[in-house]
Amino acid sequence: MALSDLLRPALLAAARSPRMERTVTKIPVTRNLVDRFVAGETEDQAVAATTSILDSGRYISIDHLGEDTTDLAQANNTVSHYTTLLSSLAQHAPATDNSGRPRSIEVSLKLSALGQFLPRDGHKVALENAHKICTAAEEAGVWVTVDAEDHTTTDSTLSIVGGLRQDFPSLGTVLQAYLKRTETDCKDLSGPGSRIRLCKGAYKEPASVAHQEKTAVDGAYLRCLRILMNGQGYPMVASHDPAMVGAALAQAKATGRTTDEFEIQMLHGIRDTEQLRLVEQQQHVRVYLPYGEQWYGYFMRRLAERPANLAFFLRSLTSKR
């Protein structure tokens, strides 16, 4: 049995354990590690981190942590967090114009945090809540992208995105290259005005719906990337893999895209040196910045999705890269 197969159940169990949370959150190295990858727990901390990232020449996408809620009050509370955040971000967002340039500030939404899993009318509630956030974001001059979650949510998520784009045509969404359906989704969603964030995917998915081997996932990513670069939308290349980033830059050049017609995205705290190097080369780089009180569950689930990240994150503590 592979080491990842042994680690995954333990990490998922730890994510659900209040006792383990109390223990882990008291360990100084854990707090230091989390502080590197999560902006903090409050909107003020997220805005402060946003200012620093924007000052470095990078763009930003902010995610209020929380997902899988089955409580209506909690879903509504998530909406309130986003509207408060957007009110603060409006002071930092540059005035919008018709130049077609990318917006420097974006928020990312998980529909499961907005009520998608509610036992009654979850799809409708998530759509209405997302609409409220999109309205506030439009007023603030901020982009919105809807995150991808596990494959069971994909149809509902893309349906909600389609409905929202009728009122908010700049709305973006995420596609996960390891899902076998994604090449078709890329073809369907790469039309004029679309914004697609392409990531490899990190959830534990069955072989019936997702590629399992790294070489197969890499191949799928490159095929999807080629479709998006040859499309009419705005590809957002979410990867820390140097091979994927290099392929994106090469395909953008081959298809005649300017730097305003695509971007690279990386997580906050990962490969900062490379992010800044790309900015120096006049590439648009967007940092994905999570914040919120639910950082513990988020952090442990990220490790559980790909336990190999555990070693990578720990190495990052002593690496400026």
Counting Cα atoms < 13 Å in the Cβ hemisphere of 63 gives 25
Amino acid present at 87: S
- Concerning whether 315 is annotated as a catalytic residue, the answer is no
In the residue annotation, 147 being an active-site residue is answered as yes
In the DSSP assignment, the letter for residue 61 is: E
Q: Quick one: tokens of 289?
A: 């910045």
Contact (CB, 8 A) for 290 and 39: yes
Residue from 147, 150, 218, 272 carrying the catalytic annotation: 147
Q: How many residues does the chain have?
A: 321
**Active-site residue, from 58, 165, 195, 197:** 197
Distance in angstroms (rounded) separating the CA atoms of residues 103 and 61: 10
Which residue reads 């005005």 in tokens? 193
User: Scanning the structure block, which residue is given the tokens 């996960």?
Assistant: 176
CA 88 – CA 122 distance, rounded (Å): 29
| Percent helix, strand and coil across the chain, each to the nearest 5 | 50, 15, 35
Provide the annotated active-site residues. Answer: 147, 197
